[in-house]
Structure 1
C-alpha cells in the first residue's frame, strides 16, 4: 500500500509512519515543522521529507490512503488536493481501527493513567512473550516504537485519547476504536477548549462505554465516583469488572505490594500507580495472563517515560519528572512522592503549560493540588498565554487558586532556574511536573544537582 501522511512529524503520527514502514507499506509525508526525536527517527528510515511545507503535487490519485494529523488545518493544500482527487482520507484513529478491525481491540481510556496502564499491560505481555499489536503514548523500555502493527497478532492494545480526531472530524479519538475490552481509569475535567462543561466532558466517556462491542468487557476504577456512575449507568450488553487500589506498604523507600504469596517489592509507587496496576492486572487476565504470571512480570516494570520517572538519585537526594498537569494528577503525584519519602523535604515544581491549566476560569480546579509539598512552586510563561490567545493570567489568580500562602510563583525561566539551582536539596525529593520544559530547562543540568 502507498500511504501519505499530512503532518508526519507529530509524536503519534511519526510512530504510525514508522510502524507502517516496518509492515512493508510505501510511506511518504509532509509537515511544516518537525522536531526531535521525530526528525532523527524518520530520517533513519528514509521517511523524513526533503523539504518542509505542504506540496499538493505529492497527492496523487494512485495513493491508497492519506492519513491526516490533528496539526494540519482544514484548508491544508494537500488535504484539499486529496479531497479533490477523491483519495481515501483517514484520521489517525480511523486508520488504526482499519488496521485492527479483525483483531480483539483493548482500549484504555480515562483522563489520567492511560499511558501507564497501557505500558504496564505491554510490559507484562512482552515479559511473557505474548505478541500483541499496540499504540501507546510514551516510549517504553524494550520497545522500538510507540506503534506496532502486524497481520497476525490476535490482540491490539490502544491508548484511548479523548481529544479530537482530526481537523475534519471533531469526535474524540477513542470513539472510533469500538473496543472488545475497555478500561476506564478516572474522569477529571480536561480539554476545556473542546469540552466547555464537565457534564459535556463526561458525556464523551458515556458514549465510549456504549461503543464497546456487544458481549465485551468494561474494566473500571470504582474508586472514582464519576467513573463508577458512568459504568453502572451503562446499559450496553457487556460484562463489567470493578477494580480498586490494592493493599500495599512502603518500607525504607520501597513499595511492597500485597499478593496472595505475600508482600512483593515493586519499582513503581504511589496510590494512583497501584490503582493503575490493579486495572492492568484485570486487563492482562482478560487477555489470558493469569494473576501469578502478572505479578511475576509487573515486579520489573519501571514506569513509562516521563510518568513519575526517576531522573537522578544520590544517597540523600532524588529527582523525578512527571507529565502531570491536570489538577487530579498533580495532587496524586505530589502525594505519592511525599508518601514514598515522608522524612524528606519535598520540593514540587509545577509548570502551567496546557490550554486548560492556563485558563483563568479553570485555575480554581487546582485548589489543594500542591498541599503535600513542603516547598510548592508554580511556573508559567505569559508568552504561552498569549500564543494560546487566552486572557492574561495574573499572579493573584494563581495564588488564590492553589490556596497556599507560601506558594512561590515564577514567570521568568531564568529566575526559576536560579531558584532551583540555589536550593539546598540535602535530604530532599525534587518533583518537576510539566508537559513542557519550564521555558528551556536542561534536565541534564538538573541531574547534576542531585549528585
Structure 2
C-alpha cells in the first residue's frame, strides 16, 4: 500500500504516518513547515520530506490513498492533482475509519476531559494486557506514538473532537469514526471562530448521539445540564449510560477513590473533574469486559496525560503545576481542583489568553468568575498574538472586567509576569500555570524550580 500525506507534520498526521509505516505501508508526505517533535520522529524513520513545500509531482496514479490534514488549504496543488487523477482522498478521521472497519470503535468526545479519559482507558487496557488500537491527542508515558493501527486488535479507542475533518470537509471529525460506543464528557462552548453560537456548538454533539447504530451505547456525564438532555433523549436500541464524579476523599493532599468492595483506592491524579473522568473511563472499560477489580488495580498507577495538571516542581510546602487548560470551563475546573486538593495553601493561578476565542472581545466574557477559586489570580496575553490573529486590541482593563475580578493582575510582558511570580511568598502556597501556549517563552520548569527552593 502506498499512502501520501498532505501536511504530514501535523500532530496526529505524523503519528498516523508512523503507524502506517510500522504496518509496512510505503509512506510519503509534504508540508510547508514541520517542527519538533514531528520533525525528529519523521526523520528517524526516513519519512521526513527532503524539502519543504508542495509538489504535485509527488501525486501519482500508483497511490492507494491521499490523506489531507487541516494545515493544508483548499487550493493546495497536491490536493488538486490528487482530485484530477481520481485518487481516493481522505481526511485522517475518514482514513482511521477505513482502517477500523472490522473493529469495535469507541469514541471519547466532549469539550473537556477527552484526552484524559482516553488516556485512562488506554492505561487500564494495557495494564490488563488487552489488545487494542488507538488514537489519542497527547503523547502518553509508555506509548511510543499517539496512533496505533494493527490488523489483529479487536477494538480501537479514539479521542474524537468536534472540529472540521479537513479543509474541504466541515463535518466534525467524530462523526467520521461511526462509533459503536460513544462517551461525551461535557459540553462547554469554545472555539468561537469555528462555532459562532452555543446552539451550533451543541448541535455537533447531538449529531454524534443520533449517529449511534442499533445496539450502540451512549455514555455521558449526567451532571452536565446539556448532556443530561442529550443523553436522555429516547433513541431506538441505543443504551444510555450516565455517570457522575466517583466518590472520593482527600487525605493530606492525596485523593483516594471510595469503593464498597475494594476500600480506598489511592490515586496519582486529583480534582473533581478527574473524578468524573475516572467514572467515564470505568464505564467504558466495563462495557469492554473488564471487571471493577481490574480497573481499580490499574487506575492507581495512572499519572495523567502530558500537560494535564503536570507537576513541575514541589517540596513539603509548595508545588508548581502546569495544565493545558485554556477554555473557560477548563480554567474553572483546573483552578478549583488545585485549590480543593490543598485547601490550606494559597493558590496563585495564572492563565494565558492565547487562542482565537480567548482573545476575541465577543467571547472573552465567558471567563467571568472562572478564576474565583484562586487566592491570587493573574492573566497574561501577548499583544503581538492579537496582531498575528488579526484581532482587535484588548486593554488590560477589559480583561479585568471580563473575568469580573477587581484584584486580577493582568500582564502583557512575560518578564513582568515572571518578576511578579518570583516576588510572591511561596511558603504554604502553590502555583498553577494554565495555557495551550508558552507564556511568551517562559521556561516554566526553571521558574518552578526557583519558586520551590
TM range (shorter): over 0.9
Q: Deviations over 1:162-184 (max 9, x none)?
A: 11110000111011111101101
Aligned equivalents of 2:62 and 2:394: distance in 1?
A: 50
Aligned to 2:270: 269
Shift of 1:413: 2.0
Please tell me whether the aligned partners of residues 231 and 242 of structure 2 are also in contact (alpha carbons under 8 angstroms): no
The number of residues matched between the two structures is 451
Contact map agreement 2:139 2:306 (CA 8 A) in 1: yes
Aligned-residue RMSD, C-alpha: 1.1
**How far did residue 358 of structure 1 move?**
0.9
**1:378 match:** 379
Gaps of 5+ in 2: none
1:143-292 alignment runs, 5 A limit: 143-260=143-260, 261-292=262-293
Tell me, yes or no, if the aligned pair for 2:108 and 2:159 is still in contact at 8 Å.
Answer: yes
Shift of 1:424: 3.0
Cα deviation, 1:136-189, whole Å, max 9, x if unaligned, reads 011111110000000110000000111111000011101111110110100000
What CA distance in whole angstroms lies between the structure 2 residues aligned with 1:117 and 1:185? 9
* Partner-residue secondary structure (3-state), 1:176: helix
Structure 1: distance between partners of 2:112 and 2:237: 26
SS at match of 2:440: coil
Residue in structure 2 matched with residue 95 of structure 1 by the alignment: 95
Distance 1:105 1:25 in 2: 23
Per-residue deviation, residues 29-83 of structure 1 (Å, max 9, x unmatched): 1111111111111111111111111111111111111110000001111111111
Inter-partner Cα distance in structure 2 for 1:311 and 1:413: 18
Using the alignment, how far apart are the partners of 1:418 and 1:46 within structure 2?
A: 44
Match of 2:411 in 1: 410
Provide TM-score, normalisation by structure 2.
Answer: 0.98
- Check conservation: 1:353, 1:434, Cα contact below 8 A: yes
Q: 1:236: Cα distance to partner? A: 4.5
| Post-superposition offset of 1:394 | 2.2
Paired residue for 2:82? 82
Contact persistence 2:6–2:30 (CA under 8 A): yes
State the distance in 2 between where 1:44 and 1:424 align.
46
Aligned-residue offset at 1:232: 1.2
Once the two structures are superposed, residues 411-437 of structure 1 have per-residue CA deviations (whole angstroms, 9 ceiling, x without a partner) of 112222222333332221111100000
Query: Is the contact between residue 108 and residue 160 of structure 1 (CA under 8 Å) also seen in structure 2?
Result: yes
Partner of 1:299: 300
- Secondary structure of 2:355's counterpart equals coil
Alignment partner, residue 448 of structure 2: 447
Contact 1:116 / 1:303 at 8 angstroms: preserved in 2? yes
Q: Is the 8 A contact 1:206 1:234 kept in 2?
A: no
Q: Offset at 1:234?
A: 4.8
Aligned to 1:61: 61
**Match of 1:343, SS?**
coil
CA distance in 1, matches of 2:247, 2:445: 36
C-alpha separation in 1, matches of 2:309 and 2:120: 14
Map of 1:6 onto structure 2: 6
Give me the whole-angstrom Cα distance separating, in 2, the residues matched to 1:131 and 1:426. Answer: 47
Q: Distance in 1 between matches of 2:74 and 2:394?
A: 30
d(CA) in 1 for partners of 2:173 and 2:236? Answer: 20
Asked if structure 2 preserves the Cα contact closer than 8 Å seen for 1:209 and 1:236, the reply is: no
Counterpart-to-counterpart distance in 2, 1:201 and 1:236: 24
Q: What's the secondary structure of 1:274's corresponding residue?
A: helix
Residue 256 of structure 1: CA displacement? 1.1
Q: Partners in 2 of 1:346 and 1:433 — Cα distance?
A: 13
Partners of 1:147 and 1:326 in 2: CA distance? 25
Q: Is the 8 Å Cα contact of residues 138 and 304 (structure 1) preserved in structure 2?
A: yes
